């Protein structure tokens, strides 16, 4: 399959904006979304009247038209939503880029905002409420009554099998958490600013759903993040250096479920992520050696191991060694999650990871990797997912 979407190298992210990341925003999710979009417009040097497209997640509760009314965004000629929770983050940018390259819009805002700590929390499990008999709710019939109630528990089922198949131990997971927190410690926007952890801290943290410990799980956050996509030509005239969209892709594989793809031959691979990887490499003509830093979705640490292998940064089963001893920290061969990740900076369902990738391309990251040319961003793991490669404008 050699395929090259029309948006590759012809579109760019031209603005990013966010609220603070906190445990209690003290304001509505709509307000957070509106603030993030306003901040992104200011960053780009754009007016509300320049925006003609909006994209968000199906999981987002903030209607695009509500934000549009609040900011004076008028005509919209492209608006869409992408499914599957955190799997959607990069896909919102890909959809926006498709709209621009395909001629449906010129300036598209992608956003995500929630009070996922002070409001509805994803990890609290379900209660004895009768659910409407829809197909999505029916899927929970195989997990909720059995007690497999939270994303952490769904991820843990993968992790156990992966550890069995590869010999990885909880320590490998710990190195990922340590790297995230190492980067967060120097990032003033991060919740865990100035709070690094050691491998021993990770090993001492209590089990949430074995084999996952507390420090294997990303935090819960109130906040909002927006990014703006436009043509590369237009982006060159705006306030910031463009983050060129070198490639973007979505991926869902045979036997795909939402967090519970337990019925394929093997649970130690993440083939939907492999599908995204192949598309990104083929579109861009790049390979692992061309990536100077990566933002790898870390809602739960084990899936970072899978992602590293699916993208070919190392062979299958070798990620447990790849992540050890600082190799994925600033100074190592592949700094990962230089903002601290979902685990260290804040959990905005992956959107803040895209913003960090943009900063690394611009050269303005707090933990700036030297000589960045290309940054890889991956989305939610265990669900139909998405990826981006952003590059410096040459």
Partner 1 sequence: MTDTLDTTPDAFQARLQAFEGRPVGPPTVAPDEVNQAMIRHWVEAMGDENPVYLDEEAARANGFPGVVAPATMLQAWVMRGLRASLEADRARAEGSTADPTAYDELFLLLDGAGFTSVVATNCDQDYRRPLVLGDRLTATAVIEAVSAQKQTGLGDGHFVTTRLDFTDAAGAEVATMRFRILRFKPKPVTAEAPPAGTDAPRPRRPRPALTEDIAFFFEGAKEGKLLIQRCASCGKLRHPPLPACPHCRSFDWDTVESTGRGTVFSFVVTHYPQVPGFDYPLPIAVVELEEGTRIVAGLTGIDVGAIEIGMAVEVELVAVDEDLTLPMFRPAGPAATGAR
| Whether 126 contacts 149, CB under 8 Å | yes
d(CA 35, CA 225): 9
Closest CA to 51 of 224, 226, 223: 226
Question: What secondary structure does DSSP assign to 81-129, as a single string?
Answer: EE-SGGGGHHHHHHHHHHHHHTTS-SEEEEEEEEETTTS--GGG---SP
Tell me how crowded residue 316 is: count the other CB atoms within 10 A of its CB. Answer: 13
Query: DSSP class of residue 65?
Result: H
Active-site residue, 193 included: no
Tell me, yes or no, if 297 is annotated catalytic: yes
CB of residue 117 to partner 1, shortest distance in Å? 14
Provide the phi-psi class of 144: left if phi over 0, else alpha when psi is between -120 and 50, else beta. alpha
Nearest approach in angstroms of CB 383 to partner 1 is: 16
- Residue number with CB closer to partner 1 (162 or 311): 162
Footprint of partner 1 on 245-274 (CB under 8 A): 260, 262-263, 267
201-209, 232-240, 300-308, 386-394 -> range binding partner 1 (CB under 8 A): 201-209
Both tokens of 389, joined, read 């490669």
- Applying CB under 8 A, which of residues 49, 58, 146, 198 lies at the interface with partner 1? 146
**Which residues are CB-contacts of 285 (< 8 A; sequence separation ≥ 6)?**
none
Instruction: Indicate whether 2 belongs to the interface with partner 1 (CB under 8 A).
Output: no
Which parts of 56-95 interact with partner 1 (CB under 8 A)? none
* CB nearer to partner 1: pick between 140 and 193: 140
**328 binds partner 1, rule: CB under 8 A:** no
Q: 280: which DSSP letter? A: H
Nearest distance from C-beta of residue 206 to partner 1, angstroms:
7
**Contact call for residue 204 and partner 1 (CB under 8 A):** no
Cβ-based neighbours of 313, under 8 Å, separated by 6 or more? 288, 291, 294, 319, 322, 334
Site map 112..131 versus partner 1, x via CB under 8 A? -----------xxxxxxxxx
Closest approach of Cβ 253 to partner 1, in Å? 13
Nearest distance, CB of residue 165 and partner 1, angstroms:
9
Active site residues: 297, 347
- Contact positions toward partner 1, by CB under 8 A? 24, 26, 123-135, 137-150, 153, 156-158, 160-161, 164, 206-211, 260, 262-263, 267
């Amino acid at each position: 399959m050699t395929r090259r979407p029309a948006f590759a190298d012809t579109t760019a992210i031209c603005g990013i904006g966010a609220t603070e990341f906190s445990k209690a925003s003290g304001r509505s999710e709509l307000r957070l979304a509106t603030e993030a979009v306003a901040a992104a417009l200011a960053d780009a040097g754009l007016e509300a009247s320049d925006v003609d497209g909006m994209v968000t997640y199906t999981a987002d509760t903030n209607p695009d038209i509500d934000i549009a009314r609040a900011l004076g965004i008028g005509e919209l000629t492209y608006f869409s939503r992408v499914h599957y929770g955190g799997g959607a983050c990069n896909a919102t940018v890909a959809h926006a880029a498709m709209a621009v390259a395909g001629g449906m819009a010129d300036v598209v805002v992608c956003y995500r905002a929630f009070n996922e700590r002070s409001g509805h929390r994803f990890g609290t499990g379900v209660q004895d409420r009768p659910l409407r008999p829809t197909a999505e709710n029916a899927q929970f019939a195989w997990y909720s009554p059995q007690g497999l109630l939270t994303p952490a528990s769904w991820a843990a089922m993968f992790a156990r099998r992966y550890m069995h198949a590869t010999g990885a131990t909880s320590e490998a997971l710990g190195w990922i958490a340590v790297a995230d927190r190492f980067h967060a410690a120097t990032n003033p926007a991060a919740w865990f600013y100035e709070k690094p952890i050691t491998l021993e801290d990770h090993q001492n943290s209590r089990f949430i759903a074995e084999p996952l410990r507390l420090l294997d799980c990303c935090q819960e956050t109130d906040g909002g993040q927006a990014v703006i996509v436009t043509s590369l030509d237009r982006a060159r005239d705006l306030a910031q250096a463009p983050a060129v969209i070198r490639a973007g892709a979505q991926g869902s594989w045979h036997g795909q479920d939402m967090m519970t793809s337990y019925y394929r031959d093997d649970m130690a691979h993440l083939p939907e992520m492999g599908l995204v990887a192949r598309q990104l490499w083929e579109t861009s003509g790049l390979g692992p050696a061309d990536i100077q830093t990566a933002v790898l979705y870390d809602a739960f640490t084990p899936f970072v191991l899978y992602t590293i292998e699916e993208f070919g940064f190392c062979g299958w089963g070798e990620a447990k060694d790849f992540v050890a001893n600082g190799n994925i920290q600033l100074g190592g061969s592949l700094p990962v999650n230089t903002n601290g990740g979902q685990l260290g900076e804040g959990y905005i369902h992956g959107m803040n990871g895209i913003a960090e990738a943009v900063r690394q391309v611009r050269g303005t990251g707090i933990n700036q990797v030297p000589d960045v040319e290309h940054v890889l961003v991956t989305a939610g793991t265990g669900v139909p997912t998405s990826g981006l490669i952003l590059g410096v404008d040459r």
